[in-house]
């Protein structure tokens, strides 16, 4: 059926719409008029008291039904310790909060921003301008931070950072939020700090910046062993309370052993870089008495690693004999001791049992060192790692290998296939190459250290040439034609 779409046909529907609109306007006008009339009548007719009662009921209901704004609490963290009259230095927490907020600030949501730092390559730091505020969320709760300007003429120190939150979260703010700020700043500072390596000069340490580039990513070793070392370190870091509870020093001892050039020193550097701990490289040949050793060990900071390389060379058999003698004298003097003093489960530290008449200058003994580390570190510091390295584990004194002395013994071995892949990736970012099958086969038959393979890879910047060099080196080794083989 055809429809008529001419202008004449459209007129009736237009009229209908105009009529409907007129009706609606008339209805609205009369409803408004009725409402005004009703309000006027109510004002005229209802008694004054009744009107008051209705108004009160209405506001009471509104107060009940409308959500009330939550009660708020504010913690004020002043820049200065002390009070208005007495400046007592900087408040450490203020600086920590400032550093924390710098990592949480959303530059786009701020009207104005303060930018500081950057001198001598230092990081630039964002902060709030006085009068500004920002919100930080923690465990689903919003904390509003405000930077409040100093007041008065001598305003320094009255400057503060203030955090506001719903009163119901007060316990959480004090018990978890603020401690979390401190912990995350401490972690960040640790990550940022330049690592140092200290070396002993008689009874004191001399430190220089430690820039060893070895990391667990670049370290060529069996992947499972590598992961287990990383897991061990992570566990160690988390166990502060555990060590405290059992009354043991919060320390961990590793013995790294294996042929020269297998990466023992590189592993030490990787551990230091991973934990961001300073290294203390102790040269025992320069320590002339137990007293010096005592001073050196006490002088180490927390979060540090004590390294004693080539421990097999440090204690001559003569010094072991002396130690046995000493232990023998003590037995004669009434002290309990086994026949084999080195294997005694808990021999007292030589200096603790030293009678006052003994000379201060006394030779260092292995048991003295081990006992001191065990005993003194439990009271004088936290988060220490002690690492001994040796190329010859079989030459070590049994005292060192006794259960409980070293927490882990880690063998750094010859270059296997996985270790080789790590080295090739380090030098050429290569994960595959036609020469790989041949090199893999050779590595299974030849004992080459990662240091030797690294050296071959370094000889050329061209990956093909370098890999050919490695294959030739391994083949020569297999034939026994490499020098020193």
Residues making contact with ligand ATP (CB under 6 A): 219-221, 260-266, 391, 412, 450-451, 454
- Residue 12 vs 260, nearer CB to ligand ATP: 260
Quickly count: other Cβ atoms within 10 Å of residue 466's Cβ. 20
- Residue 163 vs 443, nearer CB to ligand ATP: 443
CA 363 to CA 153: how far, in whole Å? 64
CA 230 to CA 459: how far, in whole Å? 31
- Residue 157 vs 261, nearer CB to ligand ATP: 261
- Residue 200 vs 391, nearer CB to ligand ATP: 391
- Residue 121 vs 260, nearer CB to ligand ATP: 260
Structure-block tokens of residue 299: 């002088």
Position of tokens 């936290």? 382
Structure-block tokens of residue 159: 């400057």
Q: Rounded to a whole number, what is the distance in angstroms from the first to the last CA of the chain?
A: 105
What is the closest distance, in whole angstroms, from the C-beta atom of residue 451 to ligand ATP in the complex?
3
Give the full edge-to-edge strand order of the sheet including 133-138: 72-78, 160-166, 141-148, 133-138
Burial (Cβ within 10 Å: 0-12, 13-18, ≥19) of residue 209 = exposed
- Residue 185 vs 219, nearer CB to ligand ATP: 219
What is the closest distance, in whole angstroms, from the C-beta atom of residue 456 to ligand ATP in the complex?
11
What is the closest distance, in whole angstroms, from the C-beta atom of residue 443 to ligand ATP in the complex?
14
- Residue 263 vs 347, nearer CB to ligand ATP: 263
- Residue 212 vs 405, nearer CB to ligand ATP: 212
What is the closest distance, in whole angstroms, from the C-beta atom of residue 340 to ligand ATP in the complex?
30
- DSSP sequence for 49-63: HHHHHHHHHHHHHHH
What is the closest distance, in whole angstroms, from the C-beta atom of residue 467 to ligand ATP in the complex?
17
- Residue 102 vs 195, nearer CB to ligand ATP: 195
CA neighbor of 203 nearest in space, from 123, 309, 290, 329? 290
What is the closest distance, in whole angstroms, from the C-beta atom of residue 285 to ligand ATP in the complex?
16
- Residue 210 vs 239, nearer CB to ligand ATP: 210
What is the closest distance, in whole angstroms, from the C-beta atom of residue 450 to ligand ATP in the complex?
3
Structure-block tokens of residue 91: 């408040």
What is the closest distance, in whole angstroms, from the C-beta atom of residue 216 to ligand ATP in the complex?
10
CA separation, residue 282 to residues 299, 366, 400 (Å)? 12, 14, 17
CA 349 to CA 158: how far, in whole Å? 53
What is the closest distance, in whole angstroms, from the C-beta atom of residue 401 to ligand ATP in the complex?
18
Instruction: Report strand pairing: 160-166 vs 278-281.
Output: unpaired
What is the closest distance, in whole angstroms, from the C-beta atom of residue 387 to ligand ATP in the complex?
11
Q: Cβ(410)–Cβ(227) under 8 Å?
A: no
- Residue 262 vs 278, nearer CB to ligand ATP: 262
- Residue 169 vs 264, nearer CB to ligand ATP: 264
Q: How many CA atoms lie within 13 A of 376 on its CB side?
A: 20
CA 59 to CA 63: how far, in whole Å? 6
Assign 3-state DSSP to the chain and report helix, strand, coil percentages, each to 5. 50, 15, 35
What is the closest distance, in whole angstroms, from the C-beta atom of residue 425 to ligand ATP in the complex?
11
Q: Cβ(214)–Cβ(345) under 8 Å?
A: no
- Residue 181 vs 256, nearer CB to ligand ATP: 256
Structure-block tokens of residue 10: 């459209």
CA 453 to CA 473: how far, in whole Å? 9
Structure-block tokens of residue 394: 């079989």
Structure-block tokens of residue 227: 């992961």
Q: Which residue is nearest to ligand ATP (CB)?
A: 263
What is the closest distance, in whole angstroms, from the C-beta atom of residue 391 to ligand ATP in the complex?
5
Angle at 111 between CA 105 and CA 114, to 5 degrees: 60
- DSSP sequence for 353-371: T--TTS-S-----HHHHHH
Q: Cβ(425)–Cβ(336) under 8 Å?
A: no
Structure-block tokens of residue 116: 């500081």
What is the closest distance, in whole angstroms, from the C-beta atom of residue 305 to ligand ATP in the complex?
15
């Amino acid at each position: 059926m055809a429809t008529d779409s001419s202008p004449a046909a459209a007129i009736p529907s237009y009229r209908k719409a105009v009529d409907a609109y007129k009706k609606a306007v008339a209805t609205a006008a009369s409803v408004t008029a009725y409402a005004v009339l009703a309000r006027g009548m109510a004002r005229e007719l209802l008694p004054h008291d009744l009107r008051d009662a209705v108004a009160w009921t209405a506001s009471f209901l509104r107060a009940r039904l409308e959500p009330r704004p939550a009660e708020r609490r504010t913690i004020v963290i002043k820049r200065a310790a002390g009070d208005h009259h007495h400046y007592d230095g900087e408040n450490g927490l203020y600086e920590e909060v400032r550093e924390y907020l710098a990592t949480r600030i959303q530059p786009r949501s701020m009207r104005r921003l303060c930018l500081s730092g950057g001198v001598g390559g230092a990081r630039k730091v964002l902060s709030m301008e006085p009068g500004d505020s920002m919100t930080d969320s923690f465990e689903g709760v919003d904390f509003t931070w405000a930077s409040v300007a100093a007041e008065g003429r001598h305003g320094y120190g009255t400057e503060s950072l203030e955090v506001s939150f719903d009163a119901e979260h007060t316990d959480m703010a004090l018990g978890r939020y603020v401690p979390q700020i401190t912990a995350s700043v401490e972690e960040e500072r640790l990550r940022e700090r330049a690592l140092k390596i200290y070396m002993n000069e008689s009874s004191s340490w001399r430190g220089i910046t430690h820039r060893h580039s070895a990391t667990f990513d670049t370290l060529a070793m069996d992947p499972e062993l590598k992961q287990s070392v990383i897991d061990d370190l992570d566990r160690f870091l988390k166990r502060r309370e555990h060590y405290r509870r059992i009354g043991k020093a919060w320390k961990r001892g590793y013995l790294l052993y294996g042929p020269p050039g297998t990466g023992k020193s590189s592993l030490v550097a990787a551990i230091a870089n991973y934990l961001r701990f300073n290294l203390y490289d102790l040269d025992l040949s320069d320590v002339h008495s137990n007293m010096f050793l005592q001073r050196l060990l006490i002088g180490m900071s927390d979060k540090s690693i004590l390294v004693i390389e080539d421990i097999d060379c440090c204690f001559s058999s003569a010094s072991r004999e002396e130690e046995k003698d000493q232990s023998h004298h003590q037995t004669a003097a009434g002290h309990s001791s086994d026949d084999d003093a080195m294997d005694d489960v808990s021999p007292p530290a030589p200096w603790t049992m030293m009678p006052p008449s003994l000379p201060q200058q006394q030779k260092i003994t292995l048991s003295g060192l081990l006992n001191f580390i065990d005993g003194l570190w439990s009271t004088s510091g936290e988060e220490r790692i002690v690492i001994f390295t040796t190329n010859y584990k079989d030459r070590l004194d049994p005292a060192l290998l006794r259960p409980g002395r070293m927490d882990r013994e880690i063998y750094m071995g010859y270059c296997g296939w996985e270790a080789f892949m790590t080295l090739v990736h380090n030098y050429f970012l290569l994960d595959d190459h036609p020469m790989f099958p041949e090199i893999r086969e050779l590595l299974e038959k030849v004992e080459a250290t990662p240091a030797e393979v690294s050296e071959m890879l370094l000889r050329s910047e061209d990956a093909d040439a370098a890999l050919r060099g490695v294959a030739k080196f391994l083949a020569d080794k297999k034939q026994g034609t490499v020098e020193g083989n």
